[in-house]
Amino acid sequence: MIIAGNGQMIHQNIKSDFPINIAHKEYHEPGPILKKHWHEELMVFYVEKGNALIHCNSEVTPIRAGDVAVINCNDLHYIENCCDHFIESWILLDVNFLRSHKDDICQTKYITPLLLNRIRFKSKIENDSELISQIQEVLRVYEQKRPGYELWIKAAFYRILVLLMNHTIPVTDEINYRQHHQLRPVLQYIDEHFDQKITLQSLAAMANLSPHHLCRLFKSITGMPPVAYVNHLRVNTAMVLLQEQHLPISEVALAVGFNDSNYFSRMFKKYKSISPTNVPKELTKQ
């Protein structure tokens, strides 16, 4: 998989004739899993062990072992591992795969509204044994890949959608995806230039918005204003440098875009609740 400059995740191993990707992942260190991104596919994953946070649009949702989590199409999100051993299995589906060639009631009532984000599911689903059982069966069948497994999985996903319909959320406050696209060049620029001087005025110009309206839109989608988002990205990068490299704090501060090491230390402690001088080196990633 790759994450394009505009934040879109592109799964290169999704075949056009069978656009479903299924994976089992384990993580052994707390922290963000990938950077903030989005994808056109619907994602459903089952938490097998540990606990984490889903950062999705402007909401943060805690999840733990036994929960099913859903990322709706085009939602801007990332997962933050909160434990020493997090295990998840996920299914990524291009909903177009479930379309039919006729505008039957299934298409008009469910599939098309789902593609248009007029049907949205809860981020976290608890205590739904039937849904969990169906997801686990999909994982098992996909792993075995016996003859006809593609038919079985496609049929199973219709059943999964039926079960997910018990966990929809109102769309009276529907997200404006045109605004999402409007903000993506800004997110791309920040991700590529966070170590340089960034002004609110320049970001607003990229989105063709006033600084005030940019701040409102930015916070509604990412959950924080632009300046806080930049500092959050800088501090996360600084944490990695402090863990992996033996650099003076002043050099780390400059490397991530802070010209004042004292200000850097204050921001680092604000976001990480620890002084940069106290970051333990034993957390170095292998």
Q: Write the pLDDT tens digit of every residue in 139-148.
A: 999 999 999 9
User: pTM for the full model?
Assistant: 0.63
% of the chain at pLDDT higher than 70: 88
Of 169, 202, 231, the one marking the end of a domain is: 169
Q: Write the pLDDT tens digit of every residue in 163-191.
A: 999 999 877 544 555 566 678 788 878 88
Domains: count for the chain: 2
What CATH number has the domain bearing residue 219? Answer: 1.10.10.60
Of 104, 134, 169, the one marking the end of a domain is: 169
Mean pLDDT in residue range 58-68? 88
Please check whether residues 47 and 154 belong to one and the same domain: yes
Please check whether residues 41 and 133 belong to one and the same domain: yes
Please check whether residues 164 and 199 belong to one and the same domain: no
Please check whether residues 141 and 59 belong to one and the same domain: yes
Of 135, 169, 203, the one marking the end of a domain is: 169
Q: Which residues of 91-108 are buried (b: 16+ CB within 10 A; e: fewer)?
A: bbbbbebbeeeeeeeebe
What H or E segment, with its residue span, contains residue 34?
Answer: strand 31-37
Tokens 């620029």 locate to 189
Q: Is residue 182 part of a domain?
A: no
What CATH number has the domain bearing residue 32? Answer: 2.60.120.280
pLDDT above 80 (res 19): yes
- What is the CA angle 197-200-203, rounded to 5? 90
Q: What is the pLDDT of residue 252?
A: 93
Q: Write the pLDDT tens digit of every residue in 241-278.
A: 888 777 889 999 999 999 999 999 999 999 888 899 88
Please check whether residues 100 and 25 belong to one and the same domain: yes
Q: Calculate the CA dihedral of residues 93, 95, 100, 106 and round it to 10 degrees.
A: 110
**Containing domain of residue 273, as a range?**
192-283
Q: What is the pLDDT of residue 286?
A: 35
